[in-house]
Amino acid sequence: MDAFTVSNVMNDEYAARIMVWAIEKPRTASEMSESLGIPISACYNRIRTLENLGLLKCVEMRIAPSGKRISVYQSQLRKASIFLDRGEVRVKMELVDGRVEDHCLVQAGERAPPA
């Protein structure tokens, strides 16, 4: 996982809301969409991105009354911050499994790449 991807995801309103809302209790995509006011297609898009980064995990499969399988997701992020430390911009994440990831976004004296 690179620092710019993590930074962009953390600054994405929908992704951040999904990660925060799914910390305490696993949620389905439709629960997230309805409760957070996120269009369902955008919700699935963010879920896929967060899963690929290891920040969201499918923890259960439910069967709807219609027989359709429904994934239930839980955030894998315990704590995250973007901060300035001795001239470097850093992204630090603590995951629920105890892993800590610390990425340098911009080094001292380095120019940030264009957005």
CA dist., res. 86 & res. 64, Å (int): 52
Residue-wise pLDDT tens digits, 75-112 = 999 988 888 888 888 888 899 999 998 888 888 766 65
Domain for residue 43, yes or no?
Answer: yes
Going from the C-alpha of 110 to that of each of 6, 87, 103, 106, the distances in angstroms are 19, 9, 15, 6
Is residue 55 over pLDDT 90?
Answer: yes
Per the structure, how many domains does the chain have? 1
Assess if residue 114 is contained within a domain: no
Closest Cα partner for 11 from 46, 40, 52, 51? 46
* Cβ atoms 11, 19 nearer than 8 A: no
Q: What is the mean pLDDT of residues 59-80?
A: 93
| CA nearest neighbour of 78 among 66, 92, 61 | 92
44: enclosing H helix or E strand: helix 40-52
Task: Give the domain extent around 12.
Answer: 3-76
CATH number of the domain that residue 16 is part of: 1.10.10.10
88 within a domain of the structure (yes/no): no
Residue 6's pLDDT band (cuts 50, 70, 90): confident
Judge whether residue 113 has pLDDT over 80: no
- What is the residue-averaged pLDDT of the chain? 89
| In the predicted structure, residue 63 carries a pLDDT above the cut 70 | yes
pTM of the model: 0.80
In a domain, 32, yes or no: yes
Contact 87, 42 (CB under 8 A): no
The model's confidence at residue 9, banded by pLDDT at 50, 70 and 90, is: confident
